Amino acid sequence: MKILENFFSTDDPNKELNSILEKGKSLLEKNFYDWAAVEFNKALELDPKLASEKVTKLFQEMQGGGNPDGIISLGVNVLKMNPKNVELANLLGNTYRKKHNWNQAKNMYKLCLKHDPDFKNANYNLAAANAKIQIADGNAVSAIAEFEKMTDFVLPDIQDGLENIVEMQQQFAPVPVEHSDQQNEDVNEDNEIKKASKDPSEAEREEEVKGGAKDSEENNVNKGANIGKNVDKEEDIEGKEDEGNSIDSAQTFNYIISNLEAESEEESKACFALGIHCLQTMEGKIAKNVFKRLLLREKENVDLRCFLVLAISLEGNIDNAIKTLQSILARNPNHRYSNANLGLLYKRKGMIQQARVNFFTTFKLLERSQGNYNIDSSLQEADKYFEEKRTKKALEIYEPLVPEITSQELLIRIANLNVENKSWDEAFEIYRRILRINRQNKEAREGIKSIHTAYLTTSENYLKKNDPKNAAVLIDKALNIAVSKKLLQKAINVNHMLENENRAFELEQMLKNFQNKEIQTEVQEKINLAEEAEKNGKYKSAVRYYEEAIKLDPKNTTLKKMVDLCVRIKRPDLAEKVADWFLKYQHSHHEKEKVQAREAFEQSKKKEEASQDEN
């Protein structure tokens, strides 16, 4: 870490302070974050001002690095010096989010807002953390800017369906009144009579007015010809709006249910288009009836249920609508329309922070599906690329949608594509997802085995190339799939080579627990054999199995089973001998464990002293 060298120079006159900081730096490099924090705290006690400057500067420089644990270790120490440093607390929150430590991230943003309630970035970052999305600061603000401007519901495009609804209006439009020739003649005659009865000068003036109006009309026609091209687009837009406004929703709904075949595709499409139109025009009652009718046939359709709730909200009960949408999202957390519109309802209620959480969730979901509110169209596009052998392009669409895909066949396809690309981590997670759906899926089980083999083979290659760091990473991944004594021991050795003593210690504990579990399994097997032998009257064999179990792990519970057997077969003398033997063996076993523990302690002490000498 060259950054560290720049700030902890040995030429500084404060030798004691620099010595402590150097030690902290060394521990930080070796990933001993807790020990490094102790050293930095010592430095802060010795000279708070100077140590604070150096550690703060280091923290700022480390922000762009790939060591979030080191950043957090330093940042927490700096924050202790100045708890009101909201910028630092905000940065720490962002770093915690990179590690998916959402709760700590939220705590940091809340700390910011405690000292500065109007800190814009922290407000947006808190909402993003609640939505479990990593986008931060200015990017977070801009990500949901369009959602925050919304005033209308987020609804599907129904342009094609709307044209059909507009055509239906002709079926019940009022018939225009037509005048007969005789009526027209009568009107003309009445006009002539009125004209004759007027004063001549008045009639003349009236003719002039009419003539002027005619000229004005001609001028207007000419002007319209000149500017017509500039208003074509506006007229088109107004035309579409007029179409929507000309729809009589009540009569249209009656026409649909009276004239179209019940439960036909034509009726469903017409009802859906009308329902969406009614939501757009705020006709809640009709929209509610339409979506209720559709839901009678498609009870599991989440889109329809969401739109029904929006229709109900137009009747004024927003609180109930919010609760219902929350209930829908509890069962269908990835439903985009529900997330977006719940955010809008929160916004209408003035619950801005809650609205932002749903807007961030919608942003995340739309990013997955490339802007589509329904993932089916995205999957169809990916399927097309797959059939065309453009697997890389197909994977770009498939991969983000994996959390929402339930088809085992499709998930297997995506996992296999990842294996082909040597993207083993992604493939492993998908295979695990498949097994959560169906634990008996053979393809997923075989896929995980192949990934385990790939990790081990590649780690061996790294070791041959004298690259233990990458080897250790892959060995850890293999351990996440399947644990063995041999693999644990190998991981311990590699981490000792890398001087990752913390990790080596963790692995040693894992090995100890693994071995103990193995012993307990074997002990239980011996006890089961002893009990079976007793049932068959083979008492000598039963005693032998209990003895073998005690040698594996001398527990009092096993001794009791053995003594009880002696009592049942009426051999109290044997019970006494067994008890004496057990006590001696148990004492010997414990003494052996003490010696091993002492040796391990001595070895650990020597390693620690050697490490301190190097520093």
Please tell me whether residue 247 adopts helix, strand or coil conformation. Answer: coil
* Residue the block writes with tokens 């075949």: 261
Residues in the chain, total: 615
pLDDT of residue 232: 42
pLDDT of residue 56: 66
pLDDT of residue 210: 40
pLDDT of residue 499: 83
pLDDT of residue 238: 43
pLDDT of residue 227: 30
Furthest C-alpha separation in the chain: 151
Give dist(CA 586, CA 564) in Å, integer.
19
Query: Dihedral through CA 485, CA 490, CA 496, CA 497, nearest 10?
Result: 170
Rg (CA), the chain: 40
Give dist(CA 68, CA 99) in Å, integer.
7
* Residue the block writes with tokens 């708070």: 48
- C-beta of residue 337 within 8 angstroms of C-beta of residue 350: no
Give dist(CA 524, CA 54) in Å, integer.
59
Per-residue pLDDT tens digits for 238-288: 444 444 457 888 889 998 888 888 888 888 999 999 999 999 999 999 999
Q: Residues with Cβ < 8 Å from 488, sequence gap 6 or more?
A: 479, 507, 510, 511, 514
Identify the structural domains of the chain with CATH numbers, from first to last. 2-149 (1.25.40.10), 249-368 (1.25.40.10), 375-482 (1.25.40.10), 513-614 (1.25.40.10)
- C-beta of residue 37 within 8 angstroms of C-beta of residue 73: yes
At 135, list the tokens.
Answer: 């986008």
Compute mean pLDDT per 10 residues along the chain, 615 residues long, and list them: 50 72 75 75 78 70 69 77 84 90 94 93 95 92 94 89 84 55 46 41 40 38 35 41 68 88 88 92 92 91 94 91 95 94 94 95 93 90 93 92 92 94 94 93 95 94 92 93 91 89 88 90 92 90 90 88 88 85 84 76 65 55
